[in-house]
Amino acid sequence: MNEEVGGRRARGGGAARRAERSAVHFETAKYIERNIPNLEILNEEALSIIEAMCAGLPIIATDVGGVRELVEDGVNGFLVPAGNQPALSNCLDRLQSDTVLRVRMGQASRERYLSSFGDKQMAMAVAQRYRAMLGTV
């Protein structure tokens, strides 16, 4: 199966899907950066978390700033106190040794990504933003 992405043809569809996801993620990140003031921090760590959520991965992150808005401790990943090396090691060990937990958290991350940053949610948020700018809310 061949797909076209950005004017280029990709074989098998895997590369095309990855390229499409990267483009969507980039646009999502830019939208978040401009339009979600409640996210106290939007730095590389937050963007990496959103990428991992999109990929369906469990998250381990430090519990700082707005990260808590992306990671629900024990649901789609773990939040560890900044600088707490033993807590970080414990979380890594748990995910490495527990496949069921790793898969469950990864699925929860993907679901959270889709419910917050999926195409439909982003389109609705952009439309709402336009209506607000035009004064038609």
CATH number at residue 75: 3.40.50.2000
**pLDDT for res 15:** 64
Whether 31 is in a domain gets the answer no
Segments forming the whole domain that contains residue 55: 42-134
Beta bridge partners of 75: none
Each residue's pLDDT tens digit, 90-111: 999 999 999 999 999 999 999 9
Q: Radius of gyration of the chain from Cα atoms?
A: 17
Domain count, the chain: 1
Q: How many alpha carbons fall within 13 Å on the CB side of residue 101?
A: 15
**pLDDT for res 121:** 79
Q: Is 32 in contact with 43 (CB distance < 8 Å)? A: no
What is the rounded end-to-end Cα distance, in angstroms, of the chain?
44
- Range with lowest mean pLDDT among 51-55, 103-107, 127-131: 127-131
Whether 68 is in a domain gets the answer yes
Entry pTM: 0.62
Whether 96 is in a domain gets the answer yes
CA distance linking residue 107 with residue 92, whole number of Å: 17
Whether 30 is in a domain gets the answer no
Whether 51 is in a domain gets the answer yes
Whether 35 is in a domain gets the answer no
More confident residue, 129 or 82: 82
Whether 92 is in a domain gets the answer yes
Whether 82 is in a domain gets the answer yes
Each residue's pLDDT tens digit, 14-48: 666 666 666 655 665 566 555 554 444 456 677 88
